[in-house]
C-alpha cells in the first residue's frame, strides 16, 4: 500500500540537533521505505568527516557537494531523506525540495537543540558558545526553514515526532483519501493518516460534539483539537476511579450537553472505557464515538461496547453495555507508543489469530523489527477489530463464545498483578501456560505450543514466573470463575478452543509438573 503513493520521497530539514537522522530512520522503518542521510552519504563518498571537509576545503566546497548529493537522492523512490542543517541556504535546493518531495521542518527551541547536540562533528559550533552560535545560525536560516510545513518537536520523543510527520504526510495523499467503513454490530472505520478529515466530518455532521482526550495524546497532536470543546484528562488506570466521574459530568453540564450530543473518546483503553461509561449514563445516554490511539485499544479495548469504571480496588465492577456509533482506527496513531506498551496490542492481536485460526502465518513470518510497519499494522488491526466484533455480535452480553476472548487472561491477570509486569507480557505468558495446559491434558499438539511460544517471544518479552501463593490467591479470585471452579480457555487447535474448569489442586498439579 505505502509503496504506491503519489509522493515517493519524504524529506526532513531543520537545525542541527533537531533529530532529523533518528526521526528519519524511524519514519523509514514505519513506512517500510529506504533511508538516506545526506551528510552520511557525503562522508561515505569523500571518505572524510564533515569536520575534515570544512577544515580542508571550506564551507563553500561542502555546499556544492551537498547540492549535488541532494540532486542524486531526490531521484530515489520510496525513500526518507534526512538533510544537513544548512541545505536550505541554497535557493535551488529549496526549490528542488518543494518540487520533488514532501518536505517537513523539524522545529525545536534553542535549549532543546543544545541538549541534544554533540559538537564534535559540528564545524559551525566548534570553539564557540553553543547557545550563541545556535541562535545566530537560527536567525540566518529561520525564513528558509519556515518555507516548509513545521512539525513541533519540543518535549516529544523520536517515536512521537515520527508519528506526527507520518500523519501530516499521509493526510495529503490522494490514494489514501477514503476510509474503509464496515457496518457491523457497531460501525468500524479504518484509515491511514485521516484523523484531520475524520474530525472535520464529525464537526460537519453534528451540532454538539465533545471530545475527551488523554493528556499524552494532547501533548503530541493537541493542535487537531484546539478549536473544539475538549476535556483533557490524565492517562492511566487512575482515570477509571469512580470518584473521577464528577470531572466528566461537570464538563458536560458546563457545556450544556444534551442527550443528542456526541461524545468522542480519544486515547487508550482507559479513556474509551470511561468515556463510554459517562456517555452511557449522562442524561440516561448520549451518543458515543471512539478514536483509540493505542494498539491495545484499537484491536481490543475500544471494540464491543463494554464500558466500565473501577470502585475501590475492584476493576470494572461498575459498567454498562452500550455500542458506540463508530470506532475510527488509524494505526498511524499507535506509532508514538513506547516499547512494551505497543507490544501489549501485538499480543492481543496475536491472541485473535489463535482464536480464529486466521492470519497466524502473518505473525509467524514477520521479523521483530517489522512489527511497526504500517502495512502490517493496518492489516492486523483491521483483522483483529472486525473479528472481535463478529464474536461480540454472536454474544453481546458475554455469556458464551465471547469468553474465548479471555484466552491467556485467567493466568495472565494473576501474574500481571503479582509481578507488576505489563499487561501484554502477562497475557503472553498466560497464553503459553494455557497452551501448555492443553498439551498436558493431551488435547493440544506440542508443535502448536512451540509455535505460540516462538511467536510471542518475538513480539514481547517472555519471562518464567513461579506460581506463588499470591498468584494462586489471585487465580482463585478471578471474576471468570464459577463457584470453586477455575475456568481457563485452552487452545486445542488454531480456531478451536475449549473452556475447561479445574479444581485448584488439579490446576496447580498440571502447571507445576
Q: What is the distance between the alpha carbons of residues 138 and 370, in angstroms, rounded to a whole number?
A: 37
Which of 175, 211, 207, 214 has the alpha carbon at shortest distance from 191? 175
With contact defined as beta carbons under 8 Å apart, do 47 and 92 qualify?
no
What would the grid cell of residue 230 be? 475538549
Q: What is the distance between the alpha carbons of residues 500 and 367, in angstroms, rounded to a whole number?
A: 34
With contact defined as beta carbons under 8 Å apart, do 436 and 488 qualify?
no
Residue 178 CB contacts under 8 Å (≥ 6 apart), including other chains = none
Q: What is the distance between the alpha carbons of residues 98 and 192, in angstroms, rounded to a whole number?
A: 23
Beta-strand pair 180-182/187-190:
antiparallel
Helices (H), 101-243: 110-116, 130-145, 158-171, 195-205, 215-221
Cβ neighbour number for residue 470 with a 10 Å cutoff: 14
- This prediction's pTM: 0.91
Q: What is the distance between the alpha carbons of residues 433 and 486, in angstroms, rounded to a whole number?
A: 14
pLDDT truncated to tens, each residue of the chain (513 aa)? 677 788 899 999 999 889 999 999 999 999 999 999 999 999 999 999 988 998 899 999 999 999 999 999 999 999 999 999 999 999 999 999 999 999 999 999 998 988 877 666 566 666 677 788 889 889 999 999 999 999 999 999 999 999 999 999 998 876 555 789 999 999 999 999 999 999 999 999 999 999 999 999 999 999 999 999 999 999 888 899 999 999 999 999 999 999 999 999 999 999 999 999 999 999 999 999 999 999 999 999 999 998 989 888 777 889 888 999 999 999 999 999 988 889 999 999 999 999 999 999 999 998 888 899 999 999 999 999 999 999 999 988 777 788 899 999 888 888 888 887 888 889 999 999 999 999 999 999 999 999 999 999 999 888 777 787 888 787 876 666 666 788 899 999 999 999 998 888 888 888 876
Amino acid at each position: 500500500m505505502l509503496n504506491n503513493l503519489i509522493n515517493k520521497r519524504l524529506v526532513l530539514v531543520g537545525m542541527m540537533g533537531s533529530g532529523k537522522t533518528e526521526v528519519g530512520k524511524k519514519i523509514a522503518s514505519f513506512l517500510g521505505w529506504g533511508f538516506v542521510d545526506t551528510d552520511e552519504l557525503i562522508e561515505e563518498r569523500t571518505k572524510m568527516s564533515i569536520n575534515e571537509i570544512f577544515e580542508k576545503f571550506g564551507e563553500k566546497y561542502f555546499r556544492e557537494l551537498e547540492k549535488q548529493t541532494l540532486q542524486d537522492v531526490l531521484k530515489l523512490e520510496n525513500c526518507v531523506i534526512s538533510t544537513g542543517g544548512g541545505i536550505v541556504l541554497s535557493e535551488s535546493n529549496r526549490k528542488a525540495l518543494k518540487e520533488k518531495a514532501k518536505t517537513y521542518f523539524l522545529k525545536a527551541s534553542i535549549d532543546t537543540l543544545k541538549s541534544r547536540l554533540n559538537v564534535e562533528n559540528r564545524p559551525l559550533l566548534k570553539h564557540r558558545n553553543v547557545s550563541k552560535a545556535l541562535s545566530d545560525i537560527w536567525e540566518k536560516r529561520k525564513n528558509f526553514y519556515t518555507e516548509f510545513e513545521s512539525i513541533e518537536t519540543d518535549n516529544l520523543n523520536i517515536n512521537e515526532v515520527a508519528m506526527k510527520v507520518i500523519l501530516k504526510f499521509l493526510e495529503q495523499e490522494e490514494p489514501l483519501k477514503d476510509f474503509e467503513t464496515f457496518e457491523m454490530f457497531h460501525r468500524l472505520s479504518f484509515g491511514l493518516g485521516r484523523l484531520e478529515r475524520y474530525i472535520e466530518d464529525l464537526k460537519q455532521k453534528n451540532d454538539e460534539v465533545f471530545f475527551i482526550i488523554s493528556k499524552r495524546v494532547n501533548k503530541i497532536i493537541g493542535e487537531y483539537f484546539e478549536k473544539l470543546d475538549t476535556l483533557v484528562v490524565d492517562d492511566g488506570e487512575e482515570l477509571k476511579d469512580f470518584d473521577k466521574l464528577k470531572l466528566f459530568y461537570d464538563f458536560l453540564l458546563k457545556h450544556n450537553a444534551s442527550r443528542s450530543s456526541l461524545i468522542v473518546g480519544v486515547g487508550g483503553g482507559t479513556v474509551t472505557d470511561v468515556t463510554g461509561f459517562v456517555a452511557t449514563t449522562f442524561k440516561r445516554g448520549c451518543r458515543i464515538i471512539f478514536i483509540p490511539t493505542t494498539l491495545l485499544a484499537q484491536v481490543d479495548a475500544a471494540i464491543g461496547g463494554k464500558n466500565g469504571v473501577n470502585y475501590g480496588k475492584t476493576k470494572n465492577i461498575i459498567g454498562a453495555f452500550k455500542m458506540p456509533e463508530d470506532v475510527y482506527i488509524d494505526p498511524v496513531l499507535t506509532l508514538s507508543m513506547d516499547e512494551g506498551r505497543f507490544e501489549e496490542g501485538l499480543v492481543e492481536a496475536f491472541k485473535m489469530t489463535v482464536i480464529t485460526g486466521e492470519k497466524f502465518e502473518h505473525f509467524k513470518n514477520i521479523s521483530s523489527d517489522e512489527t511497526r510497519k504500517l502495512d502490517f499494522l493496518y492489516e492486523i488491526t483491521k483483522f483483529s477489530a472486525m473479528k472481535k466484533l463478529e464474536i461480540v455480535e454472536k454474544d453481546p452480553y458475554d455469556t458464551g463464545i465471547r469468553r474465548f476472548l479471555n484466552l491467556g487472561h485467567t493466568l495472565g491477570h494473576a501474574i500481571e498483578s503479582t509481578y507488576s509486569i505489563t499487561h501484554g507480557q502477562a497475557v503472553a505468558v498466560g497464553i503459553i501456560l494455557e497452551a501448555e495446559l492443553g498439551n498436558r491434558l493431551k488435547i493440544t499438539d506440542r508443535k502448536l505450543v512451540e509455535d505460540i511460544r516462538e511467536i510471542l517471544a518475538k513480539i514481547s518479552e517472555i519471562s518464567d514466573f513461579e506460581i506463588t501463593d499470591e498468584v494462586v490467591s489471585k487465580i482463585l479470585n478471578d471474576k471468570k470463575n464459577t463457584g470453586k471452579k477455575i475456568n481457563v480457555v485452552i487452545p486445542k487447535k488454531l480456531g478451536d478452543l475449549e473452556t475447561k474448569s479445574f479444581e485448584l489442586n488439579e490446576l496447580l498439579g498440571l502447571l507445576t509438573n
